[in-house]
Chains A and B, each alone.
Chain A
C-alpha cells in the first residue's frame, strides 16, 4: 500500500489529467469546432425563411375587389404527438374534409401532409391541437370567380400570372419576397422576431381595372341568357367608354360553358357592321351627297360574276337608306366610287388588321388584305363586311371613334395603379391613336346609325326615352376556310345615347340555332335588355346628369326644385372622369356624414359620386385628403353602423357639415 503522500499525488495527477482533458475538449469544441457547433445550435434554434410578398389586388373601377391575396394554410399532422388520436382525429378530419379512409392512412404515417390550401376559418379550431403543424402561405382568392374570369386570368402553379391581366401585370402585382430568421422552441414552433428580418417583403402594387363589376354581371347574364335561348355556339359582349377607351365590361362564353377571351382572340367577318366604315370613307372624301340615289335593282344585282342580294329590296336608296335598311346592293354601288387604296386606308385607320394595343397577353389582329392582294369583287365585299376579319374589341374601338367625334383611342383595361400605401403610381389618360374622320363626318355617321334604330334594321334595340345609334350585322360564318351552309354570326354595335355617347356596346352571337339568325332579332334585343339594366343599376359608370338631358321625356318633366342643377362639373367638351384633365383638388373627408350630406359635399367640390351601400358614410375612394381630378368619380362606401366605427377611430360623431 502506497504512502498517503503518494496516493495524494496520484489523485492530484489524475485530477490534473482530467482537468487537462476537460480543457482540451473545451478548446476542441470551442476553438477548433466552434463554428460548426455554433451553426448547429443556430440551426436548431433558428431557421431562415422566405417572407412571401403580398400580391397586389385587382379592383373594379368602383373599388370592388376582383382578386385579392389571403393567408391560407398547409396542414401537417404528426400522429405520435396527438394527445387523443380519436377525438383529435375526428376534429381534424371534419375541419379538413377528410374521408375516414384517408385519415386512417394518415395515422399510419410518421408525418401526414395536407396541402389544401385551407382557409384560416377552416384551421382555426386546429391551432390548439398538439401534433397539428400549420404552414401559412399566401394564396390568390377571387371573391366572385365568375366575374370577368377570362379577362382577369389566373395564377399558375408557381404563383405567377398564367393568363389574362394576372399575366400581363405580373411584374407589377408580384412584389418582391423578403427573408427573415425565425426562432424555434423545443416543440418546433416558429416565432417571428421583428429584429431578425433580413429583407422585408415588398408588397405588389394594387391595380384598379376599368371594368365595372355591375356592368360586367349584366353583360355576362345577358349573354348567357341569349346563348341558352338561341342555342348558339358562343358569343361576346364588349362595353366601353368611348371618351376614354376604357373597357367597362367584357363577356365571352362558348357552348361548352368555357369562357376563353374570344373578344380579343377570335375573329369574325363583321358583315353589315362594316358598312358604316365605307360610308365614313365616302363622306370624308365627299364622294356622295345626301341626295345621291342608287337603284335597289329589285333586291338582286349581278356584278363581276357575282350576285348581291338585299333582304329588304328598295326601288332606290340614298346612303342613309343603305345604312338604315342595310342594303348590300346600295353600299356596293356607293363603294365603287372609292379607290381600293382609299377603302383600304379607311378600314386601316379605324384599326382593322392591327393590334389595338390593349393590355392583354393574347390578341388577334384580324385580317385586312392590302389592295395588291384584292380580287375584282373585293371592293364590294369589303363594303359589305366580307373578306375582312375583325375581333369584337376592334369593332368596339372603331365604333368608339364614331362616338368620340372621329378620334380613335387606344383601349385599356387599367384605370389606376396604386402602391400598397394607397398612393397613385399611374392613372390612365385617354391615348389617341389617330383622327379617323372629322367631327362633322362623325356626327353625320352617328345620324345614319340613329336612323337604323329609329326606322331600320335595329328597331328591336330602340328605347322609349333614350335615343340609340346602332348597326346590325349578319354574316355567314367561315368554318375551316369555307363559308358553312346555314351558319351565321349575328352582331350588333350600338352607341348609347346617340348624342354624346357614353357607352359603346358590341354584341356577337355565334351561330344561333333557335329562331331567327338575323342580328335584328337576336343581338339587338340583347343590347336593349343590357341598356335597360344598366339604366336601372345604381353604380354603373353612366353619367346620369347628362343622360337626363338626353332623355326628352325626363327633360320635359317638371323639376320639384327650381334651384338648378347640382353644381358638379361637367367639362365641355365632355371629358370622362378617368381622363383626369380637370384641376386636381383634395377629396373632402366625409366619413361619418349622412349619405345625402356626403354626396352634396362631394358634388360641391366638383366630383362625381358612385354609391356603395347605405347609411352613414364610412370612407371614400379616393380617400379623404387624397387629391383627384375635378369631375372624376369618387366612390362613397356607406354602412348603417359606420357611425360607431368612425367614433371608435376617434372621429367626430355623425354631423351635418363636412371636414375640410
Chain B
C-alpha cells in the first residue's frame, strides 16, 4: 500500500514538473514573441522615420529649393560654362 502511494506521489510530481516546464516554456515563448513584435514595430518606426528624413533631405537639397535660396540669400548664380574650368587633377602618389 505504502509502495503504491509512493508511485502515485512520484507520478504526481512528474506530472507537475512537466506541466510547469510546458507552462514556463510557453510563457517564455510568448514573452519573446511580444518582444520580437515590439522590436519589429520599433524597426518599422525607425525605417519610417529614416524615410521621412531622407525625403526631406532630398527635397531640401533639390535644385528647386537650393537654387532660389542660394540666389536670394547668398547672391550666388548658376555658373555659365565660361566660369567653369576643369583642371586636370594631379596624380602625386601613384
Residue of A nearest to B94 (CB): A567
B2 at the interface (CB under 8 A from A): no
Query: Which of B6-14, B15-23, B32-40 is the contact stretch?
Result: B32-40
* A121 touching B58, Cβ below 8 Å: no
Whole-angstrom distance between the Cβ of B55 and the nearest chain A Cβ: 5
B44 at the interface (CB under 8 A from A): yes
A residues in contact with B52, CB < 8 Å: 119, 121
* B37 touching A192, Cβ below 8 Å: yes
Please name the 3 residue pairs, one residue from A and one from B, whose CB atoms are nearest each other, closest first: A561-B90, A120-B48, A191-B33
Give residues in B with beta carbon < 8 Å to A: 29-30, 33-34, 36-37, 40-41, 44-45, 47-49, 51-52, 54-55, 58-59, 62-64, 78-82, 84-94
Of B33, B54, B63, which one neighbours A217 at CB under 8 angstroms?
Answer: B63
Given that A547-B86, A566-B89 are known contacts, is A70 also in contact with B47, CB under 8 Å in the complex? yes
Scan residues 229-285 of chain A and give those whose CB is less than 8 A from a CB of chain B: none
12 additional contacts, CB 8 Å, given A124-B45, A141-B51? A68-B51, A120-B44, A124-B41, A124-B48, A192-B33, A193-B33, A532-B81, A536-B78, A536-B84, A554-B85, A562-B90, A604-B94
Q: How large is the interface on A (under 10, 10 to 19, 20 to 34, 35 or more residues)?
A: 35 or more
A115 at the interface (CB under 8 A from B): no
The distance in angstroms between the C-alpha atoms of A565 and B59, with both chains bound, is 36
B residues in contact with A551, CB < 8 Å: 85-86
Whole-angstrom distance between the Cβ of B93 and the nearest chain A Cβ: 7
* A70 touching B81, Cβ below 8 Å: no
* A560 touching B44, Cβ below 8 Å: no
Q: What would 11 A/B residue contacts be, using CB atoms closer than 8 Å? A: A183-B30, A217-B62, A221-B64, A532-B78, A532-B81, A536-B84, A551-B86, A557-B85, A560-B90, A561-B91, A604-B94
Given that A191-B37, A221-B64, A560-B90 are known contacts, is A553 also in contact with B85, CB under 8 Å in the complex? yes
A370 at the interface (CB under 8 A from B): no
A535 at the interface (CB under 8 A from B): yes
Query: Which of A89-97, A344-352, A458-466 is the contact stretch?
Result: A458-466
Given that A193-B33, A532-B78 are known contacts, is A564 also in contact with B55, CB under 8 Å in the complex? no
B residues in contact with A44, CB < 8 Å: none
Residue of A nearest to B59 (CB): A144
How does the 8 Å CB contact mask read for A170-213 relative to B, with 1 for contact and 0 for none? 00000000000001010001111100000000000000000000
Name the residue in B34, B62, B79, B89 with the highest tally of chain A Cβ atoms < 10 Å from its Cβ.
Answer: B89
How does the 8 Å CB contact mask read for A297-334 relative to B, with 1 for contact and 0 for none? 00000000000000000000000000000000000000
B residues in contact with A600, CB < 8 Å: 92-93
A residues in contact with B92, CB < 8 Å: 561, 563, 600
* B36 touching A192, Cβ below 8 Å: yes
The distance in angstroms between the C-alpha atoms of A602 and B73, with both chains bound, is 37
Whole-angstrom distance between the Cβ of B23 and the nearest chain A Cβ: 15
The distance in angstroms between the C-alpha atoms of A428 and B22, with both chains bound, is 57
B residues in contact with A553, CB < 8 Å: 85
Residue of B nearest to A531 (CB): B81
A168 at the interface (CB under 8 A from B): no
Residue of A nearest to B26 (CB): A183
Name the residue in B48, B49, B62 with the highest tally of chain A Cβ atoms < 10 Å from its Cβ.
Answer: B48
A residues in contact with B55, CB < 8 Å: 143-144
Whole-angstrom distance between the Cβ of A450 and the nearest chain B Cβ: 16
* A465 touching B87, Cβ below 8 Å: no
* A218 touching B63, Cβ below 8 Å: yes
A residues in contact with B34, CB < 8 Å: 191
Give residues in A with beta carbon < 8 Å to B: 65, 68, 70-71, 119-121, 124, 127, 136, 141, 143-144, 183, 185, 189-193, 217-218, 221, 463-466, 531-533, 535-536, 544-545, 547-549, 551, 553-555, 557, 559-567, 600, 604
* B91 touching A185, Cβ below 8 Å: no
The distance in angstroms between the C-alpha atoms of A579 and B22, with both chains bound, is 61
The distance in angstroms between the C-alpha atoms of A218 and B49, with both chains bound, is 28
The distance in angstroms between the C-alpha atoms of A193 and B36, with both chains bound, is 9
* B44 touching A136, Cβ below 8 Å: yes
The distance in angstroms between the C-alpha atoms of A579 and B44, with both chains bound, is 38
* A548 touching B86, Cβ below 8 Å: yes
* B58 touching A144, Cβ below 8 Å: yes
Whole-angstrom distance between the Cβ of B6 and the nearest chain A Cβ: 26
The distance in angstroms between the C-alpha atoms of A121 and B46, with both chains bound, is 8
* A465 touching B45, Cβ below 8 Å: no
The distance in angstroms between the C-alpha atoms of A332 and B45, with both chains bound, is 67
Residue of A nearest to B90 (CB): A561
A residues in contact with B30, CB < 8 Å: 183, 185, 191
Given that A191-B34, A464-B81, A532-B79 are known contacts, is A565 also in contact with B91, CB under 8 Å in the complex? yes
B residues in contact with A143, CB < 8 Å: 51, 54-55, 58
* A563 touching B90, Cβ below 8 Å: yes
A residues in contact with B88, CB < 8 Å: 545, 548-549, 554-555, 559, 565-566
Given that A465-B82, A536-B79, A600-B93 are known contacts, is A120 also in contact with B47, CB under 8 Å in the complex? yes
Name the residue in B40, B79, B84, B92 with the highest tally of chain A Cβ atoms < 10 Å from its Cβ.
Answer: B84
Whole-angstrom distance between the Cβ of B85 and the nearest chain A Cβ: 5
Of A548, A549, A563, which one neighbours B91 at CB under 8 angstroms?
Answer: A563
The distance in angstroms between the C-alpha atoms of A213 and B44, with both chains bound, is 27
The distance in angstroms between the C-alpha atoms of A71 and B46, with both chains bound, is 11
The distance in angstroms between the C-alpha atoms of A333 and B66, with both chains bound, is 52
Of A121, A536, A561, which one neighbours B45 at CB under 8 angstroms?
Answer: A121
Of B48, B63, B89, which one neighbours A70 at CB under 8 angstroms?
Answer: B48
Name the residue in B29, B62, B63, B81 with the highest tally of chain A Cβ atoms < 10 Å from its Cβ.
Answer: B81
Name the residue in B30, B51, B54 with the highest tally of chain A Cβ atoms < 10 Å from its Cβ.
Answer: B51
* B48 touching A121, Cβ below 8 Å: yes
A residues in contact with B49, CB < 8 Å: 120-121
The distance in angstroms between the C-alpha atoms of A549 and B85, with both chains bound, is 11
Of B33, B82, B91, which one neighbours A564 at CB under 8 angstroms?
Answer: B91
Residue of B nearest to A141 (CB): B51
Whole-angstrom distance between the Cβ of A69 and the nearest chain B Cβ: 10
The distance in angstroms between the C-alpha atoms of A346 and B59, with both chains bound, is 46
